[in-house]
Amino acid sequence: MGKTVVMKTVVMRHPRGDPRPVETPEQPARSDPADGCVFCGILAGEVESSLVYEDEHVVAFMDITPVTPGHLLVVPRTHWPHLEDLDEDAGAHLFRVAHRLARAVRRSGLRCDGVNLLLADGEAAFQEVFHVHLHVLPRFAGDSFRIDADWRTADRGELEAAAAKVRTGLRRLGDERPRAGSESPGASGSTR
């Protein structure tokens, strides 16, 4: 017996600019993370997937709606709805595996002149499945993937004000996160 997945329609911007309705799973309040989560269904073997990689902490499989050929998702085995919920060590492992898979895609024979790693966290960031996941997107000139934004150079005062707010957020986290450069090999301390 399959689980019922409640769907909602959201409008996302199509790469050509025209809006298109997209069916996405509605995430009801629940105590059982597998209830309605398509990724938990994949992990439980209840939903079909094209598996690329798995270990005790994550799985990686092909995205059912690929932006480009080779577009895959890296998903933790534990159900964490948002980045805020994700254990830091699990997050590091998620990115380590995505990094390795990005290198594999470059050597795969698929068209790949570059790679984007993309994690959409929250509705405002277009997260559609509320189980943390990292997209590995092979890129090439002329592909249809776009991120539209107001790419402008900010003045130093605006940057310093935003940096101060982020530092405040770090202090509020307390000692649960390492300081930049203290435990990160190769941390440069760049002020860019």
Has residue 59 got a pLDDT over 90?
yes
Contact 96, 89 (CB under 8 A): no
User: Which residues form the catalytic set?
Assistant: 133
Domains and CATH numbers, the chain: 9-139 (3.30.428.10)
Q: Is residue 89 scored above 50 in pLDDT? A: yes
For residues 147, 151, 154 and 159, what is the CA-based torsion angle, rounded to 10 degrees?
10
- Mean pLDDT within 147-151: 86
End-to-end CA distance of the chain: 53
pLDDT category, 188, cuts 50, 70, 90?
very low
**The pLDDT value given to residue 7:** 32
Placement of tokens 């911007």 in the chain? 13
Three-state secondary structure call for residue 67: coil
What length does the chain have?
A: 192
28 in helix, strand or coil? coil
3-class DSSP assignment, residue 30? coil
Categorize the per-residue pLDDT at 151 as very low, low, confident or very high, splitting at 50, 70 and 90. confident
* pLDDT 10s digits, 14-58: 333 333 333 334 433 333 545 689 999 999 999 999 999 999 999
- pLDDT range class, residue 189, cuts 50, 70, 90: very low
Instruction: For the beta carbon of residue 121, count every other beta carbon within 10 angstroms.
Output: 16
- Rounded Cα–Cα distance for residues 19 and 17 (Å): 6
DSSP H helical ranges for the chain: 38-43, 88-106, 156-173
pLDDT value at 130 more than 80: yes
Residue pair 102/68 in contact (Cβ under 8 Å)? The answer is no
Among 8-12, 128-132, 162-166, whose mean pLDDT is lowest? 8-12
CA 125 to mean position of chain CA atoms = 10
